[in-house]
Amino acid sequence: MDAEELLRRYAAGERDFTGVNLAKAKLIGANLVGVKLWGANLSGANLAKAKMWGSNLSGANLAGANLTRANLSGAKLNEANLRQARLVYTKLYAADLRGACYDESTRFSPGFEPSSRNMRKV
């Protein structure tokens, strides 16, 4: 599946995209509110400014993804792979980040403390 197909199917009302491969997809500013991308491969994807509040990204591979200024408020990101991801100025209010992994190259907003959200450094 590519970004265009995802957006087309989302616009048609589909919300469950469990396990899809969207590696390196360009979804800048996409409206994907409430989308289910459980276990999806979004490595290297560009999701800057995407609207994804209330989404399920549990277990998703977001390694190297650009989530700068994305809205992930209330999203489920537990057990997600956030290694080398950019989450600068990303809205993470009430997001579930338990068990999400990050590394020293993961970039967060100033003042964000991953350990306070039960994330694990690898």
pLDDT of res. 23 = 98
Residue segments in the chain with a per-residue pLDDT below the cut of 50:
none
Determine the pLDDT at residue 15.
98
CATH number at residue 71: 2.160.20
Number of domains present in the structure of the chain: 1
| pTM summary value | 0.96
Which residue segment(s) compose the domain that 63 sits in? 1-122
What pLDDT digit, counting tens, does each position of 41-65 carry?
A: 999 999 999 999 999 999 999 999 9
CB of 73 closer than 8 Å to CB of 67 = no
